[in-house]
Protein backbone atom coordinates (compact mmCIF):
# COMPACT_ATOMS: atom_id res chain seq x y z
CA UNK A 1 0.00 0.00 0.00
CA UNK A 2 1.38 3.43 -0.88
CA UNK A 3 0.42 7.01 -0.33
CA UNK A 4 0.92 9.79 -2.87
CA UNK A 5 4.11 10.02 -4.87
CA UNK A 6 6.69 9.29 -2.15
CA UNK A 7 5.90 5.55 -2.26
CA UNK A 8 6.00 5.16 1.51
CA UNK A 9 5.28 1.61 2.62
CA UNK A 10 2.65 1.30 5.34
CA UNK A 11 3.15 -1.53 7.81
CA UNK A 12 -0.02 -3.60 7.70
CA UNK A 13 1.20 -6.22 10.20
CA UNK A 14 -1.11 -6.63 13.16
CA UNK A 15 0.00 -4.60 16.16
CA UNK A 16 -1.18 -5.76 19.56
CA UNK A 17 -3.25 -3.01 21.21
CA UNK A 18 -1.07 -3.14 24.33
CA UNK A 19 2.06 -2.54 22.25
CA UNK A 20 0.39 0.46 20.68
CA UNK A 21 -0.64 1.70 24.12
CA UNK A 22 2.94 1.35 25.36
CA UNK A 23 4.16 3.48 22.48
CA UNK A 24 1.51 6.09 23.19
CA UNK A 25 1.69 6.09 27.01
CA UNK A 26 5.29 5.44 28.12
CA UNK A 27 4.77 7.23 31.45
CA UNK A 28 5.13 4.07 33.54
CA UNK A 29 7.17 1.43 31.80
CA UNK A 30 7.33 -0.72 34.94
CA UNK A 31 3.55 -0.69 35.32
CA UNK A 32 3.15 -1.62 31.67
CA UNK A 33 5.68 -4.45 31.95
CA UNK A 34 4.10 -5.89 35.10
CA UNK A 35 0.63 -5.65 33.61
CA UNK A 36 1.65 -7.34 30.36
CA UNK A 37 3.55 -10.07 32.23
CA UNK A 38 0.46 -10.72 34.37
CA UNK A 39 -1.71 -10.88 31.25
CA UNK A 40 0.64 -13.39 29.61
CA UNK A 41 0.62 -15.55 32.73
CA UNK A 42 -3.15 -15.42 33.09
CA UNK A 43 -3.71 -16.32 29.43
CA UNK A 44 -1.22 -19.20 29.61
CA UNK A 45 -2.61 -20.53 32.89
CA UNK A 46 -6.24 -20.29 31.74
CA UNK A 47 -5.24 -22.14 28.55
CA UNK A 48 -3.53 -24.84 30.64
CA UNK A 49 -6.60 -25.29 32.85
CA UNK A 50 -9.35 -25.07 30.21
CA UNK A 51 -8.94 -28.51 28.57
CA UNK A 52 -9.48 -30.17 31.95
CA UNK A 53 -12.94 -28.71 32.50
CA UNK A 54 -12.06 -26.75 35.62
CA UNK A 55 -12.95 -23.48 33.91
CA UNK A 56 -10.26 -21.02 34.90
CA UNK A 57 -7.08 -20.60 36.85
CA UNK A 58 -9.11 -18.85 39.54
CA UNK A 59 -11.27 -21.99 39.93
CA UNK A 60 -8.15 -24.16 40.05
CA UNK A 61 -6.70 -21.96 42.81
CA UNK A 62 -9.93 -22.19 44.79
CA UNK A 63 -9.73 -26.00 44.55
CA UNK A 64 -6.09 -25.84 45.68
CA UNK A 65 -7.06 -23.71 48.69
CA UNK A 66 -9.83 -26.15 49.65
CA UNK A 67 -7.33 -29.01 49.55
CA UNK A 68 -4.68 -27.13 51.51
CA UNK A 69 -6.95 -25.71 54.23
CA UNK A 70 -10.31 -27.46 54.44
CA UNK A 71 -13.02 -26.24 56.78
CA UNK A 72 -12.94 -22.51 56.08
CA UNK A 73 -16.27 -20.82 55.74
CA UNK A 74 -17.09 -19.29 52.38
CA UNK A 75 -16.43 -15.83 53.83
CA UNK A 76 -13.13 -17.01 55.36
CA UNK A 77 -12.06 -18.56 52.07
CA UNK A 78 -12.79 -15.31 50.24
CA UNK A 79 -10.76 -13.33 52.76
CA UNK A 80 -7.84 -15.78 52.57
CA UNK A 81 -7.80 -15.63 48.76
CA UNK A 82 -8.45 -11.90 48.55
CA UNK A 83 -11.65 -12.42 46.59
CA UNK A 84 -14.76 -10.36 47.09
CA UNK A 85 -17.94 -12.21 48.01
CA UNK A 86 -19.59 -11.83 44.60
CA UNK A 87 -16.59 -13.14 42.66
CA UNK A 88 -16.04 -16.09 44.99
CA UNK A 89 -19.73 -16.99 44.94
CA UNK A 90 -19.69 -17.10 41.13
CA UNK A 91 -16.61 -19.37 41.14
CA UNK A 92 -18.09 -21.65 43.81
CA UNK A 93 -21.42 -21.81 41.96
CA UNK A 94 -19.64 -23.02 38.80
CA UNK A 95 -17.55 -25.54 40.74
CA UNK A 96 -20.65 -26.81 42.53
CA UNK A 97 -22.56 -27.24 39.24
CA UNK A 98 -19.60 -29.29 38.00
CA UNK A 99 -19.75 -31.32 41.23
CA UNK A 100 -16.15 -30.39 42.05
CA UNK A 101 -17.22 -28.90 45.38
CA UNK A 102 -20.17 -29.11 47.74
CA UNK A 103 -21.29 -26.50 50.26
CA UNK A 104 -22.54 -27.63 53.62
CA UNK A 105 -24.03 -25.55 56.42
CA UNK A 106 -21.71 -24.52 59.25
CA UNK A 107 -22.83 -26.37 62.40
CA UNK A 108 -22.24 -23.19 64.42
CA UNK A 109 -24.38 -21.00 62.13
CA UNK A 110 -26.67 -22.62 59.57
CA UNK A 111 -26.74 -19.40 57.49
CA UNK A 112 -23.00 -19.83 56.84
CA UNK A 113 -21.70 -22.24 54.20
CA UNK A 114 -18.48 -24.25 54.22
CA UNK A 115 -17.27 -25.23 50.74
CA UNK A 116 -15.69 -28.67 50.55
CA UNK A 117 -13.86 -30.24 47.66
CA UNK A 118 -15.37 -33.48 46.37
CA UNK A 119 -13.46 -36.52 45.18
CA UNK A 120 -14.16 -35.36 41.61
CA UNK A 121 -12.67 -32.00 42.54
CA UNK A 122 -9.56 -33.65 43.95
CA UNK A 123 -9.14 -35.68 40.76
CA UNK A 124 -9.67 -32.59 38.58
CA UNK A 125 -7.10 -30.64 40.62
CA UNK A 126 -4.57 -33.48 40.36
CA UNK A 127 -5.18 -33.73 36.60
CA UNK A 128 -4.69 -29.99 36.03
CA UNK A 129 -1.61 -29.55 38.23
CA UNK A 130 0.96 -30.90 35.71
CA UNK A 131 -0.46 -28.67 32.95
CA UNK A 132 -0.19 -25.60 35.18
CA UNK A 133 3.39 -26.46 36.10
CA UNK A 134 4.29 -27.05 32.45
CA UNK A 135 2.78 -23.71 31.40
CA UNK A 136 4.70 -21.89 34.12
CA UNK A 137 7.94 -23.62 33.14
CA UNK A 138 7.38 -22.67 29.51
CA UNK A 139 6.74 -19.03 30.38
CA UNK A 140 9.76 -18.83 32.66
CA UNK A 141 11.93 -20.92 30.35
CA UNK A 142 13.77 -17.88 29.02
CA UNK A 143 15.10 -17.23 32.54
CA UNK A 144 17.71 -19.38 34.24
CA UNK A 145 16.94 -20.74 37.72
CA UNK A 146 18.68 -17.91 39.66
CA UNK A 147 16.76 -15.33 37.60
CA UNK A 148 13.49 -17.14 38.34
CA UNK A 149 14.32 -17.12 42.05
CA UNK A 150 15.11 -13.40 41.96
CA UNK A 151 11.88 -12.67 40.07
CA UNK A 152 9.84 -14.57 42.67
CA UNK A 153 11.61 -12.84 45.56
CA UNK A 154 11.13 -9.36 44.10
CA UNK A 155 7.49 -9.92 43.21
CA UNK A 156 6.89 -11.37 46.68
CA UNK A 157 8.26 -8.19 48.23
CA UNK A 158 6.15 -5.99 45.97
CA UNK A 159 2.87 -7.76 46.70
CA UNK A 160 3.33 -8.20 50.44
CA UNK A 161 5.21 -5.05 51.39
CA UNK A 162 3.95 -2.11 53.44
CA UNK A 163 0.83 -0.53 52.05
CA UNK A 164 -0.15 -3.61 50.05
CA UNK A 165 -3.73 -3.02 48.98
CA UNK A 166 -6.63 -5.28 49.78
CA UNK A 167 -8.49 -6.68 46.84
CA UNK A 168 -8.57 -9.61 44.52
CA UNK A 169 -5.47 -11.77 44.72
CA UNK A 170 -6.54 -14.22 42.02
Q: pTM score > 0.75 for this model?
A: no
Q: DSSP letter at 103?
A: E
How crowded is residue 67: how many other Cβ atoms within 10 Å of its Cβ? 13
pLDDT tens digits, one per residue of 12-70: 455 555 666 656 665 567 888 888 899 999 999 999 998 988 888 899 999 999 999 99
The closest of 3, 7, 169 to 88, measured between CA atoms, is 169
pLDDT tens digits, one per residue of 66-89: 999 999 999 999 988 888 889 999
Asked if 158 and 74 touch (Cβ cutoff 8 Å), the reply is: no
Rounded to 10°, the helix 57-68/85-97 angle is 90
Question: Which domains can be identified in the chain, with CATH numbers?
Answer: 37-158 (1.10.10.10)
Amino acid sequence: MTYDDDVTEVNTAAVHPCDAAHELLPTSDLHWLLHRAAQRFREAMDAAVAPHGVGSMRAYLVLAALIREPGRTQLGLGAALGLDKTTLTAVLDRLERQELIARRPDPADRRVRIPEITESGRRAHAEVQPSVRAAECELLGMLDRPEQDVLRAILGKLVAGPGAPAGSCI
